[in-house]
Structure 1
Amino acid sequence: MQPWQLDKTKKDVASVIFAFFEAGKNKDLSALGEFHAPRDFSKFDENPPYTRQDSDEAFVYEQAAFANISDYDYKVEELRVDLIDNVAIATFYLTYKGIFVNDYSFEGRSVGSKSRVTMVLSSFPNGWKIVHEHFSTLPDLKGRSDASSRRG
């Protein structure tokens, strides 16, 4: 791969990641599954269920999450894309917020989080597809002293 191709490929991968979150934000729920690899997909989420999900399970939970959150907004920070042959490893911080609406009780509550995210994408004939996602909530570090946050 030529150096100029590297930058374009990284931009292509980044555009898939942003398009995924935009689809959720815009409630284009049927499109969410198109971002995942058709098979051999796995996901660990920061929200229940905490078990490994395949593409069908992830699609169901993602649809439910985006369908029940109104005023969803997100920010991707410090996106880094590393390429290894036809595989891209994207790491970033995701901050999101919105109002979770319970349709049965007609109540809403504010939700939000800042998470560490890893997405592994693979190049397919029809473009880059997500083959693995891992989300983990960042702990609230405000109450920790410097000594307690060091490893040793």
Structure 2
Amino acid sequence: MPYCPNCGNQVSAEDNFCSKCGFKLKGVELFTPEQRAVMDVILKRVEAIRNRDPKTIEELVDKALYTKFDDWPPFTRLEGEFALNEEAKALKVLVRYEYEVSGWRIDILGDVAVASFYIAYRGRIRRLDFDIRSRVSTVLIKRDGVWRIIHEHFSRIGEKERRAFFAF
């Protein structure tokens, strides 16, 4: 079965619209099971933030190859164990986190996948409320039949532009 390229919901090739998000399916390429597997890894990663679960994040990345540019300080490139440790520290002080993802594009290039999407997330860390919209690019590698994240790049969307992409 194919999947909605907007929300990842399983759909029929005959459907005109996704029953979950209302996305118009006619005329667009539906996701393959392999693309859906990549999406699942990324969604598990975002859910691990929401659940403040650094162990799951560690399981989803290739620690030796992992790099990250974040839309949250520090803005420098973070790598490997150091990147994961910094995120684990942030998760300890994360009070609330909710998110919405949309606009998925996933390209499978053999054992490498490149995914891009939009994310809107808001919540509270320490005493600071945040409400951020970003563009995200994620690179994954498949080893032994398992997709793992090797690079993430988060880039904030300016206040003017963000209204065009997000409902909340």
Q: TM-score, normalised by structure 1?
A: 0.80
Q: What's the Cα RMSD here? A: 1.5
Runs of 4 or more off by more than 6 Å in structure 1? none
Partner of 1:131: 150
Residues 37 and 129 of structure 1 are in contact (CA less than 8 Å); yes or no, is this contact kept in structure 2? yes
1:18/1:39 CA distance change after superposition, 3 Å: same
Q: Distance in 1 between matches of 2:79 and 2:128?
A: 29
Could you list the runs of 5+ residues in structure 2 that have no partner in the other structure? 1-30, 162-168
Q: Which has the higher helix share?
A: 1
Q: Secondary structure at the match of 1:49?
A: coil
- The equivalences for 1:1-152 within 5 A come to 7-101=32-126, 108-125=127-144, 127-141=146-160
What is the CA-CA distance between 1:49 and the residue it aligns to?
Answer: 1.8
Structure having the higher Rg: 1
What is the CA-CA distance between 1:126 and the residue it aligns to?
Answer: 5.6
Could you list the runs of 5+ residues in structure 1 that have no partner in the other structure? 1-5, 102-107, 143-152
Q: Distance in 2 between matches of 1:36 and 1:67?
A: 19
Q: Identity percentage over the alignment?
A: 32
What is the CA-CA distance between 1:29 and the residue it aligns to?
Answer: 2.1
Output the amino acid matched with 2:70.
Answer: D
Q: Distance in 1 between matches of 2:132 and 2:79?
A: 23
Output the amino acid matched with 1:73.
Answer: E
Higher RCO, Cα 8 Å, sep 6+: 1
Output the amino acid matched with 1:34.
Answer: E
Q: Distance in 1 between matches of 2:51 and 2:73?
A: 23
